[in-house]
Structure 1
Amino acid sequence: MYRREIEGSLPKTSFFLFGPRQVGKSTLLKAEPSLLTVDLLDPDERLTYTKTPKLLADQVLALDEDGTVFIDEVQRVPALLDVVQQLMAERSKIRFIMSGSSARKLRRGASNLLGGRALYRTLHPLTMTEMGESFDLDKVMAFGSLPPVWTRVTNQEHELARELLKAYVTMYVAEEVQAEALVRNLQGFQNFLDVAVAQFAEQVNFLGVSRDCHVSHPTVRDYYSILEDTLLGFFLRPYVKGVRKRMSQAPRFYFFDNGVTRALLGNVHGKPSPLERGRLFEQWFVQEVVRLNEYHRKDFKLYFWRTSHGAEVDLLVEHQGKIAFAIECKHKATVDRSDLSGLASLRETFPDVDCYIVAPVKHRQKVDFAKAVGPDELLKIIAGA
């Protein structure tokens, strides 16, 4: 059992807890005392509420006291949200906690998602902090940090961990995409997924992806939105002035977990190549900053930076309208001035920005104008901003 960073900041009012499959949503929320639990993973229970959504109203209105009602995997019966919205008006002191792995079907079934009456939180795979002493960077890059997978890794059950990751990918396509009828052309989506994962942590060439997987450009964009809505990944936008200009430039796409990324690539049995390790390290660190930002309610805005001449910085952290940190990710034990080219280019425009190279170094190093630090130290620095 892992203590989750989000535990101390769960809202006291009604809220949605979204998160990919197997990140521990049900485990976390079932620890909360509840008057009524609706488990929509159970086929019989799901069928009952699908046929008679009003049953939920009858059950809640029959409660003799106020408290918490927990609805697990609420996206499986979107019609329940209409009932919940009515109940929130009639029994305002009842707290509804609703978990789900996708907002996409909820939006189709209940467009206003309770009209803003419920807050949103997201649960992610395990963070470096949550793993504690069991954290091992090489293993996190190879296996990711989904709780059931990481438990097998820490028990030295590596083959079982690999099987769980392969099953995860199969179940995602079968249950999140096919069963929920998110796409009409399942083979086209599978082709897209193969192309998209090959480009993880890179800028997305939408036209190139369209050409490679033989589907239209608008369809590729819709497929990426499915990955976002089912929480399989997220975009990182380039840092440019003007929202319209930013949206017109190609973003980078990161998957939510390194183990799932490698399973999608079909690489779970081999060791990552040096090039792959660099991309996995970058993806993992960006994931960690995203999780820190959400769990600690920091309200950072995250970007990458790239010039027309190809100079790049992996991550910019904007705080209160200013760039607080410029971060280059390097999976190497020793860094030197050759690793500063992107940061040096950035400093020509933003000379006062704090520049860091995050790398698996044992001790902090000063490299010209930048500091090379380990990921644990840099995450603490960012959290303190």
Structure 2
Amino acid sequence: MTAYNRWYEARLRRFLDKPFVHILFGARQTGKSTLIKRLLPPDALTINLAEPLERMKYLSDPQELIRACRALAKANGPRFVFIDEVQMVPDLFNAIQSLYDADTTAFRFILCGSSARKLKATGANMLPGRSILHRLFPLINEEYTKEAESFGTEFSPLPLEHSANLQNFPRRNLEDRLAYGDLPGIAALDDMEARRELLKSYAAIHLEGEIRREASLRELPAFLRFLKLAAVNSGSMVNFTGLSKEVGISTPTIRSYYQLLEDMFIGFTVPSFSGSEQKSLVSAGRFYFFDMGVRNAAAGVRIDGSIVSLNPGHFFEQWVGMTLFRKLSYAGEGRLSHYRTRGGAEIDFILERDEEWIPIEAKWTQSPSAKDARHLRSFMEDSKGRVRRAYIVCICSRPLRLSESITAIPWHML
């Protein structure tokens, strides 16, 4: 199988030269372990806490990590120690701190986790002042083979530095990515049936099984009803009261379930824009699943290109939101929000970076027009100079200037 590179690989490689503990979080199957193993030296100590015997050993005696590390042969540089699914044994963080504080250069710890819930619940020592947090997401456009015609990054609302000499994933059309998502293992497969089965297994085994065990859920039928509705409503404003009535559980429980999905990196909330002085803004946030393929599997819809054609704009807007969230996280600064007034004026996304507001609309159209930009223009007029540029992300073939400050860009330039 071809070994594809990740965009974050070069950045993580640079960071690993720094004498800190490195913690990489992300949902399952985003490629965390594969990425780290590409960067580890051959003599690294690897501990996989997903293996029951390994997990039981360290649960019963976290000090075993100290003994294992001190037994490693001396080296000219730091000895690398990789611990996968570290959230399963939170007490290991105290052992790591003990080793790190004794000698900051002796070991280079790389910790990998697919959930922050247990760490939060147990008040785990996250090594403040000693650790650097990293996040890994499903694929972004920069990780695919470029489209035949490339227009550079000058039109992009959120350009990322380009890592040279990447072995990119094969190019995929937009409908394929909206249906099957951007998990690395899915993107590398040509077999559509295998893709569907893998995504259904993800929903059944991870979303239903592992989340239930992680949170010790007692009302499993209610949670499964919630999970399907959360997936169906992905990208919409969250109505906690309405969901509470539909699922048949309390509003606080619905809120806790959404928080659980965020703690497991299964989704994220895009809050309402708060920079406006208008009193008539809708304050509800929008919840998004982290990947389109996983969202479709959890929603119980048939996973293939035909499902997208039923409501392409809805699928596309979600994908744009997921892409912006991933890239903003990789950029390391800024905030993503949405804008809607009680009168119905709406902008899908607002990027807030460096004192600048960048409004972005997602439109399923090949021929964007001035009419598609009317809410962008209104927002710009009310922004008191904070907006210098605005974008429509669509399915046009090349960038189009709709006005001096409003540009329509093809989806693959996002």
The Cα shift of 1:126 comes to: 1.3
Aligned residues: 372
Q: Which residue, out of 181, 184, 201, partners 1:144?
A: 181
- Contact 1:311–1:341 (CA under 8 A) maintained in structure 2: no
User: What pairs up with 1:190-201 in 2 under 5 angstroms?
Assistant: 190-201=224-235
For the 8 Å contact 2:281–2:342, the answer to whether it is kept is no
1:1-385 → structure 2 map (5 Å cutoff): 1-10=3-12, 11-12=15-16, 13-31=20-38, 32-33=40-41, 35-63=44-72, 64-65=74-75, 66-93=78-105, 94-133=107-146, 134-152=171-189, 155=190, 157-241=191-275, 249-270=283-304, 271-274=306-309, 276-297=311-332, 299-323=333-357, 325-350=358-383, 352=385, 353=387, 354-368=389-403, 370-377=406-413, 379=414
Distance 1:314 1:290 in 2: 13
Higher relative contact order (CA 8 A, sep 6+): 2
The AA in structure 2 aligned to 1:360 is: I
How far off its partner does 1:23 sit? 0.8
**What letter matches 2:359 in structure 1?**
A
Alpha carbons of structure 1 residues 118 and 143: separation in structure 2 relative to 1, 3 Å: same
Which has the higher mean CA deviation after the structures are superposed, 68-77 or 341-350?
A: 341-350
Letter in 2 for 1:281: F
Per-residue deviation at 1:240?
Answer: 1.7
Structure 2 Cα separation of the partners of residues 59 and 109 of structure 1: 25
What SS class does the counterpart of residue 240 from structure 1 fall into? coil
Q: Which amino acid aligns with 2:186?
A: V
Q: CA offsets, 1:134-168, max 9 Å, x none?
A: 2321110010011111112xx2x001100000000
Q: Which amino acid in 1 is paired with 2:237?
A: Q
Q: Distance in 1 between matches of 2:180 and 2:222?
A: 27
Are the aligned partners of 2:282 and 2:342 in contact in 1 as well (CA < 8 Å)? no
Any stretches of 5+ residues in structure 2 without a counterpart? 147-170
Could you list the runs of 4 or more consecutive aligned residues of structure 1 that deviate by over 6 angstroms after TM superposition? 245-248
Q: Which letter does structure 1 place at the counterpart of 2:183?
A: L
Q: Distance in 1 between matches of 2:409 and 2:207?
A: 39
> Would you say the 8 A contact 1:259–1:268 is kept in 2?
no
Is the Cα contact below 8 Å between 1:26 and 1:72 reproduced in 2? yes
For structure 1, which segment, 177-186 or 226-235, has the greater mean C-alpha deviation from structure 2 after superposition? Answer: 177-186
Please list the CA deviations of residues 281-335 of structure 1 after superposition, one character each: whole Å capped at 9, or x if unmatched.
Answer: 12212222222222233x1211111112111101111112221x21100122112
After TM superposition, give the deviation of residue 259 of structure 1 in Å: 0.5
CA RMSD, aligned part only? 2.2
Deviation for aligned residue 1:246: 12
Partners of 1:79 and 1:294 lie apart in 2 by 28
Question: Using a 3 Å threshold, how does the CA distance of structure 1 residues 174 and 79 change in structure 2: closer, same or farther?
Answer: farther
For residues 97 and 26 of structure 1, the distance between their equivalents in structure 2, rounded to whole angstroms, comes to 10
Alignment-mate amino acid for residue 368 of structure 2: V
Equivalent residue of 1:3, what SS? coil
1:382 match? none
Relative distance call for 1:254 and 1:15 in structure 2 (3 A) is same
Give the structure-1-normalised TM-score.
0.91
